Chain A
């Protein structure tokens, strides 16, 4: 029951954070509210016994990626005037919400048809660093290496792109 209570809390926080992300005008506010979502998601991972992912979510996502984003936002020193004028924001949000509805409903329908399983917290043998690590380096070695190459490539790309002298008009 405790777990269910936690789930409801985290879920509510995650949704609220996401709504905030969509609605806040300034990206900084959006980023902060997104961090809320990420952290609550980390909590949910913990509830799902994914210990490693829980940690990674906090360290990599909420820690590294978000700080990168926030850093860039601050780096660009965005003034309110730089922000796009979005007078019809709510209207757009409403319209896109309607458009998205069918997708969500379809997915919901699919989920509804699934059989119920327990998600009770499991013991030590699941989702720890050891288990995931063994799997990762035994069965997933090549995809793992490819992902590392991907990271390298994106690193080089980012350096080249961001380092370009702006040929401003």
Chain B
């Protein structure tokens, strides 16, 4: 049964990557990242159960805290960008072009 959880987390994680790479909508990209974090959380919790060691739960909590912090900051940035460009397209922001 353990394998099921792990395979699921792999699928979610890969979907998250696909979302980040394939989509241009800022929100979708952001939520795809959250998806990857959740996939990781699932692994933590699974292994915590498997080894019967609740350190994994603590780590999952930490990840949630980080996700919350990230959400706050990322959304602030999104608001800022929207103010500047009124666009939600990641392709608009290409200052890194060499």
For the complex, would chain B's binding face be called helix, strand, loop or mixed by DSSP majority?
helix
Assess the B77–A161 pair: CB atoms within 8 A: yes
Cβ-defined contact, A68 with B75, below 8 A: yes
Let me know if B8 and A27 touch, CB within 8 A. no
Could you pull out 15 A-B pairs where Cβ atoms are within 8 angstroms? A18-B16, A18-B35, A27-B28, A38-B38, A44-B5, A45-B45, A56-B61, A84-B25, A103-B14, A104-B10, A104-B13, A108-B7, A118-B2, A147-B65, A158-B76
Q: Give the chain A neighbours of B54 by CB distance below 8 A.
A: 126-127, 131-132, 135
Interface string of A96-129 (1 = CB under 8 A from B): 1101110110011001101011111010001100
**Does the CB pair B46–A82 fall under 8 Å?**
no
Residue pairs across A and B with CB atoms within 8 Å: the count is: 247
Contact of A162 among B14, B35, B79 (CB under 8 A): B79
Q: Looking across the interface, which residue of chain A has its beta carbon closest to that of B21?
A: A96
Within the assembled complex, what's the spacing in Å between the Cα atoms of A60 and B41? Answer: 14
Contacting pair B17 A103 (CB below 8 A) = yes
Given contacts A21-B35, A82-B87, contact A73 B72 (CB under 8 A): no
How many B residues face the partner with a CB closer than 8 A? 72
Q: Quick one: CB contact mask for B53-76 with A, threshold 8 Å, 1 for yes?
A: 011011011101111111111011
Residue among A100, A101, A153 facing the most chain B CB atoms (10 A cut-off):
A100
Pair B15/A96 contact, Cβ less than 8 Å:
no
> Contacts of A34 on B, CB cut-off 8 Å?
31, 34-35
Q: Are A151 and B76 in contact (CB under 8 A)?
A: no
Known: A117-B2, A154-B73. Contact between A15 and B38, CB under 8 A? Answer: no
